[in-house]
Amino acid sequence: MESLSAFAIFTGILYQFLPVWIALAIILIGCGIFRSKLGLVGKLYDNPIGIIGFAIVVFWILTALMADLVVPFDPYEQVLGMKNKAPGFPVTGQEGKYFLLGGDNLARDVFSRMVAGSQTVLSIAPAATLFAFMVGITLGLPAGYYMGRIDTGLSFLANMVLAFPVILLFFLLVTKGIIEVGIPMYLAAVLFAFPIIFLLILFTSKFNTRPNEMYLYVGLTLVIGLWAYTGLAFNADPLGVFSMDPNTLNIFVAVVFVNSPTVFRIVRGLVIDIKTRDYVAAAQTRGESPWYIMLWEILPNVRGPLIVDFCLRIGYTTILLGTLGFFGLGVSPESPDWGMTINEGRKLLLIYAHPALPPAIALMSLVLGLNFLADGLREESLKD
């Protein structure tokens, strides 16, 4: 059997992504039809850069969701005789099947590993960014609103974290001895508490005039929140629904930890600006509590810049995860994580470039898409 031509490889890849294309088309066309009702997302359609970014990001999300349908081979499976084979090489013993992007050093399908790698990245990066935002917002709001001592203290802390070399911090956090002391777990215990605190304050400040609704929301938050909290932070979920692999927990905590000070600073700056508005004074004059003003009067009005930053930050986090993987601090040595795959491919880069390139291009395209999306959102939100 002959190897596939470049064109055949290209069409082969396109064909493999068929379920993704179909879903992408449905989403894009659907959003296009209802764009007038979709607010900011609908407005993206007026912005070529924005819509390209949106399409790329949706593409990768769909790929991650439908990875099982897309991959031709098991990403962990080693196929005899396929070690370091070039793209389009027919699989030995399996008629009509090819390694579309070749095989890697351990004779696994590069294409399948790249597709599966999107799952790791897209499951960690957005979630870690979200947690970082929770922490940053919960601390940034009071710092910007009250100023004074609270601000001085929190800003000092944030600067400390920002001044610490990130890579060194990561190495520390994943070092065996440090893990045994339990530092990552304690960090997780602190950081994972913020979303619960955030939601509790959010509901109590708004609904304290309507106790019935308040008890409902607070109850729900506490039950679900604490359940997830025990599972994620201490791996002690009695029902076993929430759990996190210790390695994943480590990098998750690390990513949240280094991202939240930046978010804190952004939120603080935005709050300092918004709190001078008359509607904030109006809320004060009707006797609203400070937390109500921060969460319900100020926060909704800083959402624009925060959404943009959220998109950009997922991109940074993705690169950060790649970097971590590259240094061997990734999820698990076997996993198809993009960063790790690039690192492995690096070793034979001069002889076989093909195992390292696809994950690198995937990483680049996702980050590019996120940046485009952020740009588009920023431009459109400024227009109005």
Partner 1 sequence: MTNQNVEPILEIENLNISFFVRAGEIPAVMDFSCKIMPGETMGLVGESGCGKSTVALGIMRDMGNRGKITKGTIKYRGRDMGDMSQDELRNIRGSKISMIYQEPMASLNPAMKIGRQLMEVLEIHENASKEEAYNRSLDMLTSVKLPDPARVMDAYPHQISGGQQQRIVIAMALLSKPDLLLLDEPTTALDVTVEAGIVQLVKELAATTGTSMLFISHNLGLILETCDRITVMYSGEAVETGTVNEVFDQMRHPYTKGLFNSIPLPGADKNSRPLVAIPGQLPLPHMRPRGCNFGPRCEEYVEEICNAGHISMQQVEGQELHKSRCLRINEIDWDAEPERRIVEDPVAPGDVVLDVRDLQKYYDVAANKIFGGGDTRTVKANESITFQAREAETVAIVGESGCGKSTLAKVLLGLETATDGDVVLGAVDIGNTEVNDRTTKTVSAVQMVFQNPFDTLNPSHSVGAQIIRTLEKFKIGNSKSDRKERMLELLDLVKLPRAFAERMPRQLSGGQKQRIGVARAFAGQPQLVVADEPVSALDVSVQAAVTELLMEIQREAKTTMLFISHDLSVVRYIADRVVVMYLGHIVEQGTTNDIFSPPYHPYTEALLSAIPIADTSVVKKHIVLEGDIPSAMNPPSGCPFQTRCPRKAQVDGDLCEREVPPMRELASGHFVKCHLAASILDAMEPVIVLGDKPENVAPKVLAKKTAKSSGKASTSKAGSGAVAALAAVGTAAVAKSATAKKSSTKSVASKAKTTNAAALKQASKAPAATATASAKAKTGKVGSTVKPVTAKASTSKPAASPAASKATAKKAPAVKKDAAPPRMRKPAKPDDLKMISGVGPKIEGILHGLGVYKFEQVAKWKKAERDWVDDHLRFKGRIEREDWVKQAKALAKGGAEEYIKVFGKKPR
Q: Which tokens sit at 75?
A: 């990403």
Q: Exposed/middle/buried for 152, CB within 10 Å: 0-12, 13-18, 19+?
A: exposed
Using the minimum distance from each CB to partner 1, give the nearer residue, 122 or 283: 283
Is residue 301 close enough to count as binding partner 1 by CB under 8 A? yes
Is residue 204 close enough to count as binding partner 1 by CB under 8 A? no
The interface region with partner 1, picked from 60-68, 173-181, 253-261, 281-289 by CB under 8 A, is 281-289
User: Per-residue contact track with partner 1, 220 to 259, x per CB under 8 A?
Assistant: ----------------------------------------
Using the minimum distance from each CB to partner 1, give the nearer residue, 297 or 337: 297
Using the minimum distance from each CB to partner 1, give the nearer residue, 42 or 72: 42
Q: Exposed/middle/buried for 345, CB within 10 Å: 0-12, 13-18, 19+?
A: buried
Using the minimum distance from each CB to partner 1, give the nearer residue, 319 or 377: 377
The CA–CA distances, whole Å, from 204 to 104, 209, 261 equal 54, 9, 26
**Residue 262, beta-bridge partner list:** none
Is residue 36 close enough to count as binding partner 1 by CB under 8 A? no
| The only residue of 39, 300, 328, 333 in contact with partner 1, by rule CB under 8 A | 300
Q: Which tokens sit at 315?
A: 């991109």
Q: Which of 107, 49, 30 is nearest to 75 (CA)?
A: 107
As measured in angstroms, the least distance from the Cβ of 297 to partner 1 is 6
User: Per-residue contact track with partner 1, 302 to 341, x per CB under 8 A?
Assistant: -x--------------------------------------
As measured in angstroms, the least distance from the Cβ of 218 to partner 1 is 18
Using the minimum distance from each CB to partner 1, give the nearer residue, 57 or 283: 283
| The only residue of 11, 18, 46, 328 in contact with partner 1, by rule CB under 8 A | 46
Q: What is the DSSP string of 23-79?
A: HHHHHHHHHHHTGGGSTHHHHGGG-HHHHHHHHHHHHHHHHHHTHHHH-SS-TT---
Residue recorded with tokens 């930890």: 257
The interface region with partner 1, picked from 4-12, 26-34, 136-144, 276-284 by CB under 8 A, is 276-284
Is residue 287 close enough to count as binding partner 1 by CB under 8 A? yes
Is residue 26 close enough to count as binding partner 1 by CB under 8 A? no
CB 162 within 8 A of CB 261: yes
CB 101 within 8 A of CB 126: no
288-318 b/e (C-beta count within 10 Å ≥ 16 → b): beebbbbbebbbeebebbbbbbbbbbbbbbb
Using the minimum distance from each CB to partner 1, give the nearer residue, 301 or 323: 301
Using the minimum distance from each CB to partner 1, give the nearer residue, 153 or 182: 153
Which 8-state DSSP code applies to residue 288? -
As measured in angstroms, the least distance from the Cβ of 138 to partner 1 is 19
Residues that bind partner 1 (CB under 8 A): 46, 148, 152, 209-210, 277-279, 281-290, 297, 300-301, 303, 384
